Amino acid sequence: MSIPQSGGGLIESFDQLAGYLESGCKPKAQWRIGTEHEKFGWLTDTKQPLPYAGDRSISAIFQGLAESFGWTPMTEAGNVIGLNRNGANISLEPGGQFELSGAPLETLHQGAAELRNHLEEVAAVAGPMGVKFMGIGAPPEWSHDDMPRMPKGRYRLMTDYMGRVGTHGTQMMYRTSTVQVNLDFASEADMVKKMRVALALQPVATALFASSPFFDGKVNGHRSWRSRIWRDLDASRTGMLPFVFEEGFGFQRYVDWVLDVPMYFVYRDGVYHNALGQSFRDFLKGELPALPGEKPTLSDWADHLTTVFPEARVKKYIEMRGADCGNESHLNALPAFWVGLMYDQTALDAAWDLVKSFDAETREGLRVAASVSALKGEANGVKLLDLARAAVALSHAGLAGRGLGEEVFLGPLMQSIATGEVQADHWLKLYQGDWHQSFAPIYEAASL
């Protein structure tokens, strides 16, 4: 969710940076599940992307959701850029990806109900306009020039910077969509183990949820082109974070890494000030060129934390970031997979035993193999299908231990493990078969 963060007042001590992360620690009884997913809007008559403004547009849908379902608009420079209601938010990614950031919930059943309600509300407003939304990791045909631009200052700055530091940055911003889950930790030690498991098993999530085999109107040679894009985006702020697996990793070591990531912006009074490539360390000393003499607040630190994009990310919780968006059952399966592994101690310990012998080369090799071949990939003798089978079994046991009947949400993943095929394989078969190499049918087929 790309909206200004609320962190707190002036930073007066270096220790506050790690303290901000540590303040997320909470007892297990207070752990919650927050699911986020992005989706592409398209016009049913032209199969073109949904624009921001106009009679059939994102802004019109925002207005309809506010008027009909009690959402409160969020604005920037007079433009509505999001909505909020009861702890949930709807926001926009740079290319108009329509994102639901769900409220922190106690169970996966509550999350599934929230998702269904959201999709029904959106359909009630968008349907009469001739608009639908599709759940897929990347749009099959739309070019960069086809994509609309959202009226958000943050994205204008990021677009300029992305072109300088990598080859795929603007593709990520404008033409990918994901589903992720945000989960809690009890202590620093709990965070460390969860981050290590999250990073080591993120290739399994990439493989199981791969749904972007098409790009720029052709087969791209990957099951998850979205994941491929992330490998050549900005090495300073992405990747598998090998230091997380080093002795002594904790909140402070993560802070040290984030401080070395160049800044994008500083948000003040509704304005994004250009701080591209500048240093938060200088900001702490009051020496930031963008705002000479001014020192940061915890809100600035919270904002900066949102500008790093590793495969798993620490805030006051941990974000699992490796999966393509998919259909409704997959949107429910992603939080189920990680909750089963992370919220049951026996499952978490067993998951760590599963991956603790992997070195950095193997973890990165699995990341690459997952994007190319999904469950058919392997690296250094580790087969993703075997690793996925073991991980999903542990997740199933962890969910069973919760005693809430949540194991049902793993159904799509168990089916993929049984067949060795994921959503991308399904799309490729249809494209080469019944669709006769036409992309026209995928818009309806992938719609949520």
CB atoms within 10 A of CB 150: 23
| pLDDT the model gives residue 152 | 82
Q: Which residue has the tokens 């959201």?
A: 118
Rounded to 10°, the helix 345-355/384-402 angle is 170
| pLDDT the model gives residue 196 | 98
Q: Which residues of 378-396 are buried (b: 16+ CB within 10 A; e: fewer)?
A: bbeebebbebbbbbbbbbb
| pLDDT the model gives residue 167 | 62
What is the chain's pLDDT, residue by residue, as a tens digit (448 residues)? 455 666 678 999 999 999 999 999 999 999 999 999 999 999 999 999 999 999 999 999 999 999 999 999 999 989 999 999 999 999 999 889 999 999 999 999 999 999 999 999 999 999 999 999 999 999 999 999 999 999 887 887 777 777 666 567 788 889 999 999 999 999 999 999 999 999 999 999 999 999 999 999 999 999 999 999 999 888 999 999 999 999 999 999 999 999 999 999 999 988 899 999 999 999 999 999 999 999 999 999 999 999 999 999 999 999 999 999 999 999 999 999 999 999 999 999 999 999 999 999 999 999 999 999 999 999 999 999 999 999 999 999 999 999 999 999 999 999 999 999 999 999 999 999 999 999 999 999 999 9
For the segment(s) 15-445, the CATH number from 3.40.50.980, 3.40.50.2000, 3.30.590.20, 3.40.50.720 is: 3.30.590.20
Supply the pTM of this predicted model: 0.95
| pLDDT the model gives residue 166 | 56
Q: Which long-range contacts (CB under 8 A, 24 or more apart) does 383-389 make?
A: 384/203, 384/204, 384/207, 385/417, 385/420, 387/201, 387/203, 387/204, 387/354, 387/355, 388/204, 388/207, 388/208, 388/413, 388/416, 388/417, 389/417
Q: Which residues of 17-41 are buried (b: 16+ CB within 10 A; e: fewer)?
A: bbebbbebbeeeeebbbbbbbbbbb
Q: How far apart, in whole angstroms, are the C-alpha atoms of residue 345 and residue 337?
A: 14
- Quick one: which of 36, 21, 107, 109 has its CA closest to 343? 107
| pLDDT the model gives residue 165 | 61
| pLDDT the model gives residue 170 | 80
| pLDDT the model gives residue 233 | 81
Q: Is 274 exposed, middle or buried (0-12, 13-18, 19+ CB in 10 A)?
A: middle
Q: How far is CA 68 from CA 52, 71, 72, 121, 223, in A?
A: 19, 8, 11, 9, 39
Which helix (H) or strand (E) is 181 found in, with range?
strand 178-183
Q: How far is CA 191 from CA 184, 197, 307, 364, in A?
A: 8, 10, 20, 21
Indicate the domain borders of the chain. Answer: 15-445
Rounded to 10°, the helix 251-259/15-22 angle is 120
